[in-house]
Structure 1
Amino acid sequence: MNGKLLGGSIVGIALVAGAALYYLQVYAFYDEVEFTPDAIRMTPVATGQPESMPAEDFEAIDADSSPLRYRACFRLPLSQPTLTETYEIYDNPEPLTAPPWFDCFDAGAVEAALESGEAMAFLGEHNVSYGVDRVIAVFNDGRAYAWHQLNDCGELDYAGNPVGEACPPREE
């Protein structure tokens, strides 16, 4: 009987620990981001310096536990042709999935729209955190989505490889 009790205790503890780990990964560390005038910024080709954008219907989440947890959904009142003439296009955008409860952000749909040309990706801000860019995908109808993505320096650095002279040193 002691073996069943011990085995049952181990399974019970594992279930509680698994549920706690799931909760911590999916819910606990995220905070809603309040809209501010600088909440959405895009980088113009002419200056290379991010500037604030007039976003509407803004919803966003972020977490201090990782620079990659930022996700945002909003609308931009500018057309894609205006944006492509003015702002930097982002090569190789890879939308990262959001927690299931943040239902305005569907990474699969955004990725499919980027591949089909229905949406275009722009550089929001380079190195918003070391090695991480903010990417903004804009649809033809003005819907827009933002996420953080590792840039070349971030991929090298976080993989433990030397970043070389092309990347700025990490600020401690």
Structure 2
Amino acid sequence: MGKFLAALIVVCALGAGIGIYYMQEYAYYEPVAPVGDDVTLVTPEGEAVAIPFEGFEAIDAYSSPIRYRACFRTPLSLEELSARFAAYNGPEPLEAPNWFGCYSASGIGEALDAGKAKAFLSVPDVTYGIDRVVAVFPDGHGYVWHQINRCGKVVFDGKPAPEGCPPPPATN
């Protein structure tokens, strides 16, 4: 009887592990079709401007506002983008599922840290406390993710919104 119970526990643990892995890597994610203005950047004056792009691939999940990831190419040079649009301070690319092959958070993060790529603000507060961030490389490859901003970091911890932040929504 003891061997049967031990085997049952192992089988249940294995099933739970497979289920959790599937939920993190595959469940909820859906492809996002481009609609024309998917890649926007914000000018220093706060104006959102759609930039030209091609080869757009994106995924998103309704289960979390920070699961959006996208890859694209733009014909605009990094110098032109840097001159026209607002840089994003403190970019932290978030990991994507392994099967979304065009996106590597570690590669993007290393390039940003080394100054080989630059991050720009795309959509501030795409949902409360979450910004859309775009990183562009000199060869025109670009990557998009959602990142918790300074207001979200504080409010999501249950504290009042810091000065300069919009009031949080009344409901979840």
1:115-162 CA distance string (max 9 Å, x none): 121111100110011101111111111110111111001111122222
Pick aligned residue for 2:129 from 104, 128, 131:
131
Query: Percent of pairs identical after alignment?
Result: 48
Residue 145 of structure 2 corresponds to: 147
Q: Displacement, 1:51?
A: 2.3
Change (3 A) 1:23 1:54: same
Partner of 2:104: 106
Residues 154 and 162 of structure 2 are in contact (CA less than 8 Å); yes or no, is this contact kept in structure 1? no
* Structure 1 runs of 4+ with >6 Å offset: none
Q: Which stretches in structure 2 are left out of the alignment for 5+ residues?
A: none
Q: 1:83 aligns with which of 58, 81, 99?
A: 81
Instruction: Using the TM superposition, give the Cα deviation of residue 164 of structure 1 relative to its aligned residue in structure 2, in angstroms.
Output: 3.3
**Which of 84, 93, 97 is equivalent to 2:95?**
97
TM-score for both structures, normalised by structure 2: 0.94
Matched to 1:132, the amino acid is: I
SS in 2 for 1:17: helix
* One-letter amino acid matched to 1:116: A
8 A contact 2:124–2:130 mirrored in 1: yes
Q: Letter of the 1:111 partner, please give it.
A: G
Deviations 1:17-36 (A, max 9, x none): 11011101111110101001
Instruction: Report the TM-score, using the length of structure 1 for normalisation.
Output: 0.94
What is the aligned counterpart of 1:122 among 120, 123, 128?
A: 120
Partner of residue 41, structure 2? 42
